Structure 1
Amino acid sequence: MIEGAAILLVGLVTGYLAGRRSRRPEPLTGAAVCSCHHPRGQHLDGKGPCQADNKQSVNGVQVFLSCPCQLYDGPEPLPQFYAPEIQP
């Protein structure tokens, strides 16, 4: 029983350390993300220029610069349809 607890503890510590190593969070699976790594909602009407800011460090000072992406080039989302309720 002690061996099982030790194996569990090693697995938890390894997962914690591996998670801390990666800095950039991965986008959600199936999320519409542009090549600038911003979601489709940050682009004007999903087709226009990106409205998000990029954080950069200039001489040790954090500076927010506008994203240079001018057109959303990610995957097209599925079309949305309206279906009225079926009356019994």
Structure 2
Amino acid sequence: MIVEMLTGGVIALTSATLGFALARLSPERRSESKQGKPICGCDHERAFHNLKTGECREQVQVVTKTDEWGDPIKWVFEQCKCQHYTGPEPITQYYAPEIES
């Protein structure tokens, strides 16, 4: 009876440890670290967009030739066609001096 209880405890502990490890390594968990980055719909950061006109200044790869299986074998770099930054806007920062009492 004691051996069965110890075996059950070892199985439960192993399952919990394995579940915890898999949850920590899951792709959903790793993608949380990218939250808050100012990424536009064109997949470029806010820094690549002109703040006055909104146009993207980054270049993108455009496939010009593929092989018989559809894999790209030739491409060129072109200007990104994004005309306006659509990602999250940063919070405006204000300076407020400390109030002395």
TM-score (normalised: structure 2): 0.51
Question: Does 2:32 match 1:55?
Answer: no
Question: Does 2:84 match 1:71?
Answer: yes
RMSD: 3.7
Partner of 1:22: none
* Partner SS, residue 79 of structure 1: coil
Question: Structure 1 residue 42: deviation in Å?
Answer: 0.6
Using the alignment, how far apart are the partners of 1:81 and 1:30 within structure 2?
Answer: 20
Partner of 2:41: 35
Instruction: Give the aligned length.
Output: 78
TM-score (normalised: structure 1): 0.58
Letter aligned with residue 45 of structure 1: L
* Partner SS, residue 41 of structure 1: helix
Structure 2 gap ranges (5+): 1-13, 66-72
Using the alignment, how far apart are the partners of 1:47 and 1:77 within structure 2?
Answer: 17
Question: Structure 1 residue 47: deviation in Å?
Answer: 5.6
Structure 1 gap ranges (5+): 20-24
Q: Which has the larger radius of gyration?
A: 2
Using the alignment, how far apart are the partners of 2:92 and 2:81 within structure 1?
Answer: 28
* % identical aligned pairs: 38
